[in-house]
Amino acid sequence: MSNIWREFERLLPQAPLLTGKVISRQESGDLIVELPGGGQLRVTGEAELGQRVFVKADQVIGEAPELPFVEIEI
């Protein structure tokens, strides 16, 4: 028999993987990351100012490639 709690957790939505650019470092060590649409997130992790990063659940996951942002309106 499977664990009912695990089954319930699978129904919950997962945090999205986002990309952004580190624009500031706070005194607490947190980073401010600007998303391509202009929004900002306060995240934890290690990155340099100006570096593009992957962010998931308010944590820096790793370095993201420097690619152009293209928005297509449908």
Give the domains, in start order, of the chain with CATH numbers. Answer: 15-63 (2.40.50.140)
The model's pLDDT over 11-36, given as tens digits with 9 standing for 90+, comes to 999 999 999 999 999 999 999 999 99
The model's pLDDT over 30-68, given as tens digits with 9 standing for 90+, comes to 999 999 989 999 999 999 999 999 999 999 999 999 888
| DSSP reduced 3-state for 57 | coil
pLDDT band at 1 (very low <50, low <70, confident <90, very high): low
Neighbouring C-beta atoms of residue 52, cutoff 10 Å: 16
CA–CA distance, 22 with 1 (Å, rounded to integer): 46
48, two tokens: 């340099």
Neighbouring C-beta atoms of residue 45, cutoff 10 Å: 17
CA–CA distance, 14 with 40 (Å, rounded to integer): 20
Per-residue model confidence (pLDDT) at position 46: 95
pTM recorded for the entire structure: 0.77
